[in-house]
Amino acid sequence: MSQVQVLKKISVATVFGKVDLKALLAAPGETIKCMRVLGLAISQKTGLSSYGEWSALLGQFQATNLVTGEVFNGSTLFLPEVALTPILVALSAQGTRGVEFAIDVHVKYVNDVTPGGSPYEYTFVPLLAPDANDPISRLAAKVLALGAPADAAADKGGKVAKK
């Protein structure tokens, strides 16, 4: 196992480095696995920079570069918004003392870039099953208990056959 490096802040840039657009273009439709993050988020820190508003998580975090295997620890974590938002939502729940999570952060090429936009976007994959108290898991269990929908096509947005 490689030696763990301690960073002031963990981010895709500090763990993975600059996104290689040539590598993304060489594999259209594929994602590049950037980093795995394990953590316990305790609170949020916000600020303003020359790039605009930012938000970071404070707590205990470990990130692994999924290409090189390098491991990093830190107490401040910057995540792409797509991965940060669900953690912030869980952190804001009443009575929450912290949010444990484990995710893989990926990057993929975007075909239809808006003017001034980025040619790539981040995605993430949760590595842990949702907590039993997760509201979406509870709702899914309730819906499952109701049984299958009468017409699966209507459930998928398809046209309902006339009877």
CA distance 105 to 72: 15
CA atoms within 13 A on the CB side of 57: 32
- pTM > 0.75: yes
Write the pLDDT tens digit of every residue in 105-139: 999 988 776 777 788 899 999 998 766 667 777 78
Cα separation values, 88 from 65, 135, 146, 159, Å: 23, 14, 31, 38
Confidence of residue 30 (pLDDT cuts 50, 70, 90): confident
Residue 122 DSSP one-character state? E
Closest CA to 90 of 80, 82, 101, 81: 101
**Whole-number pLDDT of residue 151:** 57
Write the pLDDT tens digit of every residue in 147-159: 866 555 555 565 5
